[in-house]
Structure 1
């Protein structure tokens, strides 16, 4: 995909996220969502509840923030600086988009009688846990080599699906909320990827990968010195 198509795709998903959020507040859709949550509540058992709570813990806001700070730091130290920038803005961008839309839409949580655990905020759309899970899954796929790409995709999809299902299962989100989380993270990933492919961004990222302006100037100076010596 070209940088333009990725940026446009990210904008389309972002628009779809906002439209879905506004639709989620309608009485008709809310009634259908509550009915679905009531059906899901009938499937609860101790083992599934334990799994759902573990999935929720693994994708909580603190995990997302820690990953957004620590992963880029580790990648930077490993001199994978473009990957560090990509992961930082993919995770940070996904959470920022999710939070902004959550405040703007301000959808109420499902009825308290359906809760297994207390939600961490009063707004329901989009699911922050699902947003973080999908963003982590995308980051995993971006970081592995081509030989591990397919396993990473499968693991990431399983993790994101488990977290999304857990949030509905625990009664703290509606189905559109977790779909919204998927849209928030995917739009952020596309926008970041598209912007990083722009020529001006590529130049800066290539310089960053080589060690920054100082390193580039030193390398250029060394090259000039060698060339002068050869000419003499």
Structure 2
């Protein structure tokens, strides 16, 4: 009986843990639709990209291009797969699946948001000093969303001890560097990457809350069966 009560307490996940991030995600989608329909916002974005391009330097080129590779789909899947495999061996399949869900579901969700908003990317003709040309829709940035999700997934999974501070720094620095690099390379508008920071943070929190609900439901079921 005591075990069942304790499990019930652990199973309590506040409704706001799901509702708030879901509302934030919906707000980001609505903001994207409004931004796409407002040429003045895009004009301001282009002006800011041009100003950032004015700071071009070989070192910044290298950082931005390297960051683009690190948070590309292939590299991301490789990183998540390697960490997930290690977690599987050390903590079991549940920990591996949870980490992969935290890191990848928000990123996959950003593609859904892109298909809803359908905002065009900055045109190379508008950016005389652009570094890179990319395809697909622009809002939000998938690279930035992935950087946020991976950083927070690492923090939530491994950040309970001495690794907390360095992982917290990584979870903040990696998305900011990636957001800057995507604008610097001319493949995203500033509002795209800003939306990505908000969207992906909310998406990770939503996935984390849903995972806790599933884990606690499974624990309660196991206790009831036992």
- Pair in the same fold by TM > 0.5: yes
Residue 116 of structure 2 corresponds to residue 136 of structure 1: no
Residue 29 of structure 2 corresponds to residue 18 of structure 1: yes
Residue 99 of structure 2 corresponds to residue 84 of structure 1: no
Paired position in structure 2 for 1:146: 161
Cα distance in 1 for partners of 2:42, 2:25 equals 21
State TM-score, norm by structure 2: 0.83
Paired position in structure 1 for 2:193: 178
Whether the aligned pair in 2 keeps the contact of 1:90 and 1:139 (CA below 8 Å) is: yes
Residue 173 of structure 2 corresponds to residue 162 of structure 1: no
Whether the aligned pair in 1 keeps the contact of 2:133 and 2:186 (CA below 8 Å) is: no
Paired position in structure 1 for 2:72: 60
Q: Is the alpha carbon distance of 1:138 and 1:206 closer, same or farther for their aligned partners in structure 2, counting shifts above 3 Å?
A: farther
What displacement does 1:71 show?
2.7
Residue 202 of structure 2 corresponds to residue 187 of structure 1: yes
Aligned length: 208
State TM-score, norm by structure 1: 0.81
Paired position in structure 2 for 1:37: 49
Deviations 1:150-201 (A, max 9, x none): 2211122111111110000111111111122223321221112212232x54
Unaligned runs of 5+ in 1: 208-212, 221-232
Cα distance in 2 for partners of 1:64, 1:206 equals 34
Structure label with greater radius of gyration:
1
Cα distance in 2 for partners of 1:5, 1:167 equals 32
Unaligned runs of 5+ in 2: 1-11
Deviations 1:183-220 (A, max 9, x none): 3321221112212232x54142688xxxxx8xxx9xx7
Where 2:163 maps in the other structure, the secondary structure is helix
Q: Is the alpha carbon distance of 1:49 and 1:14 closer, same or farther for their aligned partners in structure 2, counting shifts above 3 Å?
A: same
Where 1:24 maps in the other structure, the secondary structure is helix
Deviations 1:38-79 (A, max 9, x none): 111111111111111111111111122333434323212212
Where 1:78 maps in the other structure, the secondary structure is helix
Whether the aligned pair in 2 keeps the contact of 1:82 and 1:205 (CA below 8 Å) is: no
- Which 4+ runs in 1 deviate beyond 4 A? none
Q: Is the alpha carbon distance of 1:171 and 1:100 closer, same or farther for their aligned partners in structure 2, counting shifts above 3 Å?
A: same
Paired position in structure 1 for 2:216: 202
Paired position in structure 2 for 1:210: none
Aligned CA-pair RMSD? 2.3
Residue 108 of structure 2 corresponds to residue 93 of structure 1: no
